[in-house]
Amino acid sequence: MHQEKQESQDGRILLYEDYNIRVSSQPNVYGEKFVLRLLKKNTNIRNIFDLGFPGTEEQLKKSIHKKNSITIIAAPTGEGKTTTLYSIMDYLNSPEINITTIEDPVEIRIQGLNQVEIDANKTSFSNSLRTVLRQDPDIILVGEIRDTETGEIAIQAGQTGHYVLSTIHTIDSIEVITRLRKMGLSDYDISSTLATAISQRLVRKLCPKCKKEREFNNEEKKIITTIGEKYNVAFDLSGTTYEASGCKYCNNTGYYDRIGIFEVLDITDQIKEAIMAGKSSLEIRRLALEQSYKPLIIDGLRKVVDGYTTIEELNKKLLIY
């Protein structure tokens, strides 16, 4: 990185054996602000169900790996999109399937995949994607759909027999449709290729060494029951919950490690029709709720009831009260 230039920069620190550090800097009125992301090297890919993916393997199989289609994982930055993408890739990985990835940068190396790293200064996702398509892989991972061109080629890839996995920055899975529309993709293209949109957040898990067991209080019961009723989900609150405490193991935070909370939007025939008819995201959301779609908050509350995290922690991510 340049020391004298007053401009925003991206860089990497490659000093450590176990970690890479991604650095982003931006000048401001006081000097420069830095954001550092720690990335563990040689990390084991975690099983998607260990990450907190809800539902059964059957349901997962139904949602992913449909030929001629696209699956998009949508979330704000730092909510674990890449980890989920790698877990799905690892799950689909087998010697008879050709998987090619286009990434910026390659964060984790997985045996058996053809991983292509793009250099943003020299080429783009869309250019690399065009080259990859000529090689005709079965599954293509596009690190991120950032622009119309990439979106168009990804859809084209989906329409011509490939299975495409990618990510997009939106707050939930329904907004994926809005974002693709805003990129200028047609309702026909979106409805004919988008198969699944998954959204997620990361919440901290209660520290296993110091969490304190207690009953749910009335206020918590009211919050959980009210939200549950809104989405036709009954939670059993007769069990106990846990309070975050603090010990040496968790650095006195009461939490240790993180878990994902997810929502899965399957683009059913009815939702395809709604997209084709140009329905708004609100209308599509209403339709999805009548079907199998359950919003993030429901999986979040499930993880509170199951004792993985607390309602306070969930509230920090989703503002539920």
Residues lying near Zn ion in the complex (CB under 5 A): 207, 209-210, 247, 249-250
- Kindly state the smallest distance separating residue 89's Cβ from Zn ion, in Å: 33
Q: How large is the greatest C-alpha to C-alpha distance in the chain, in angstroms?
A: 62
Q: 123 to each of 127, 142, 243, how far by Cα in Å?
A: 6, 14, 50
Distance between CA atoms of 80 and 304, rounded to whole angstroms?
19
Residue number, 209 or 214, with CB nearest to Zn ion: 209
- Kindly state the smallest distance separating residue 217's Cβ from Zn ion, in Å: 22
> Phi and psi of 176, rounded to 5°?
-60, -40
- Let me know how long the chain is: 321
Distance between CA atoms of 240 and 218, rounded to whole angstroms?
13
* Helix ranges restricted to H, 142-280: 148-159, 174-182, 187-193, 218-230, 269-276
- Kindly state the smallest distance separating residue 205's Cβ from Zn ion, in Å: 11
Residue number, 81 or 205, with CB nearest to Zn ion: 205
Here the tokens at position 12 are 């990497």
- Kindly state the smallest distance separating residue 49's Cβ from Zn ion, in Å: 25
Residue number, 299 or 313, with CB nearest to Zn ion: 313
- Kindly state the smallest distance separating residue 207's Cβ from Zn ion, in Å: 3
Cβ atoms of 169 and 237 closer than 8 Å: no
Residue number, 48 or 210, with CB nearest to Zn ion: 210
Residue number, 135 or 251, with CB nearest to Zn ion: 251
Q: What angle do CA 234, 62, 174 make, to 5 degrees?
A: 65
- Kindly state the smallest distance separating residue 209's Cβ from Zn ion, in Å: 5
- Kindly state the smallest distance separating residue 215's Cβ from Zn ion, in Å: 21
Query: 289-306 as b/e, with b when 16 or more CB fall inside 10 Å?
Result: eeeebbbbbbbbbbbbbe
**Nearest to 58, CA basis, from 50, 67, 69, 49:** 49
Residue number, 143 or 254, with CB nearest to Zn ion: 254
Distance between CA atoms of 190 and 277, rounded to whole angstroms?
12
- Rounded CA Rg of the chain: 21
Residue number, 162 or 205, with CB nearest to Zn ion: 205
- Kindly state the smallest distance separating residue 210's Cβ from Zn ion, in Å: 3
DSSP state of 232: T
Residue number, 147 or 213, with CB nearest to Zn ion: 213
